[in-house]
Amino acid sequence: MMNDDSAKPRYHSPLRGRQKEQTRDLILDAVDTILRGAPVSEVTIAAVARQAGVTERTIYRHFPTREDLLDAVWRRALHAVGGGQTQQAETLEEILDLARAAYENFDAKAGIVRALIATPDGVDASKQPEEARLAMLRAAYAGLLGGVPEDEVNAVVTATHVLSGASAWSHLRDYCGLDGAEGGKAAALAIELIVEGAKARASAARGWPQQTKKPRDLRGWISHRLLDQ
């Protein structure tokens, strides 16, 4: 005979669910704090427990392994610093706005961003969002760079992807002394100049008959133009 209790739906306490989520966030925040001043090798279960003010057993209840903990850290960081970069952009100004905003987000999460770009696990976790950002840029420039040769459009896409990413932010901050706001402006201006240069190059190329580049023999081109008149 079936026990009546077994047929009853289990009650899930909203309060307990919130407490579990708060503890999880507390643990992840502790990792962020450690990474502000130390390399990822310093992120041990013991160190995180001390920083969060919880027991190691508590951490293991939420994250069975250190790898699970770091994976959660990477995913939360990627959502925080990169979510807006994959939204669809249709104009150059929208692309530039995304680049400037990204640099300020990188500044706000500097420790975790550095860990993301410096560790194999962080790089692996970043692949999917970075591929989505690349696809977004390809779609945007397909509409913005009509008439520009495909190889040059690809070069613009690649340059934009690099200049608006975390590695470029780190380089401008560490070697050029630019904070997020300054670096974002510099990166956005560089992207704008590259796009304008690609458009100007394509426009100039269209002035030469059936060629993408200026002929080396100017006399031949002049003769061709005279015959057309």
Each residue's pLDDT expressed in tens, for the chain with a length of 229 residues: 445 555 555 555 666 667 888 999 999 999 989 988 888 889 999 999 999 999 999 999 999 999 999 989 888 888 877 655 557 888 999 999 999 999 999 998 888 898 888 888 888 888 888 999 999 999 999 999 999 999 999 999 999 999 999 999 999 999 999 999 999 999 999 999 999 999 999 999 887 544 444 444 544 444 444 445 4
Distance of alpha carbon 95 from the chain centroid: 13
Domains of the chain in start order, with CATH, are 15-64 (1.10.10.60), 77-205 (no CATH)
pLDDT of amino acid 216: 46
Distance of alpha carbon 214 from alpha carbon 208, whole angstroms: 6
Distance of alpha carbon 132 from the chain centroid: 9
For residue 43, give the 3-state DSSP assignment. Answer: coil
For residue 83, give the 3-state DSSP assignment. Answer: helix
Q: Which two tokens stand for residue 80?
A: 């925080």
pLDDT of amino acid 163: 97
Which amino acid would we find at residue 203?
S
Distance of alpha carbon 83 from alpha carbon 129, whole angstroms: 8
CA distance to 12, 25, 117, 166, per residue, from 78 (Å): 30, 15, 11, 11
